Chain A
Amino acid sequence: EAGVTQFPSHSVIEKGQTVTLRCDPISGHDNLYWYRRVMGKEIKFLLHFVKESKQDESGMPNNRFLAERTGGTYSTLKVQPAELEDSGVYFCASSSRQGNGYTFGSGTRLTVV
């Protein structure tokens, strides 16, 4: 089966611009997660979708971040406007049910300059 796919793999944008990250989970996986790793720190949870519904968005840093999962398939994470501290690697993961080990994508490395 195809794994979790993330696009783009790298993005360099200027402070104040908008960036949209995309994640295609493994087909049939209802659970989709977004995580972020800022350099030198741990990978931190951002939010969790079950199908198209936001199950838990307690990790979203602020209202500059907007995640959607229309139709319960792929998900997008938009950062608007981007700030320098948003730089990091954004990972998406999916699982068939909670409690399983998740499958991660390769991540999107975001650099805000």
Chain B
Amino acid sequence: GQQLNQSPQSMFIQEGEDVSMNCTSSSIFNTWLWYKQDPGEGPVLLIALYKAGELTSNGRLTAQFGITRKDSFLNISASIPSDVGIYFCAGLNYGGSQGNLIFGKGTKLSVKP
């Protein structure tokens, strides 16, 4: 089945630093999504990307949909303590009987004040 390789697995950074994480796949997706999960909560959608090459920002977050449709990255600028959590990429192909998300294994972010 389809799999996403997400890296890094974990990051320990200082408050104020920038963060970058990425996902790659051997197959293409129509949509790339980035989610954040806080402890005890479900994943919350941060950014959705619908077109190859698309670059989208949401506050301090920037994400891009790779030209080949097989990869995506997420950048967080000037990290703050509340950025702590697990970040998941997810690929989606919809239409017909499809519609389920394929998730990466997550990047656990720790921020030192």
Query: Which residues of A are in contact with B by a Cβ distance under 8 Å?
Result: 4, 6, 31, 33, 35, 40-45, 48, 55-56, 59, 91, 93, 98-107
Contact = CB atoms under 8 A, between A and B. Distances in A.
Q: Which of B33, B48, B90, B103 has the most CB of A within 10 A?
A: B103
B94 to A, nearest CB: 4
B22 to A, nearest CB: 15
A103 B45 contact: yes
A85 to B, nearest CB: 18
A45 B4 CA distance: 13
A42 B45 contact: no
A45 B41 contact: no
B11 interface: no
Interface of B: 4, 30-31, 33, 35, 40-45, 48, 88, 90, 92, 94-95, 97-106
B97 A99 contact: no
A55 B99 contact: yes
Contacts of B94: 98-99
Contact of B101 (A6, A40, A102): A102
A65 B58 CA distance: 38
A106 B40 contact: yes
B42 A48 contact: no
A4 to B, nearest CB: 7
Contact of A48 (B35, B99, B104): B99
A48 B44 CA distance: 19
A45 B102 contact: yes
A42 B104 contact: yes
A90 to B, nearest CB: 10
A48 B95 CA distance: 13
Nearest to B31: A99
Contacts of B104: 42
A100 B43 CA distance: 15
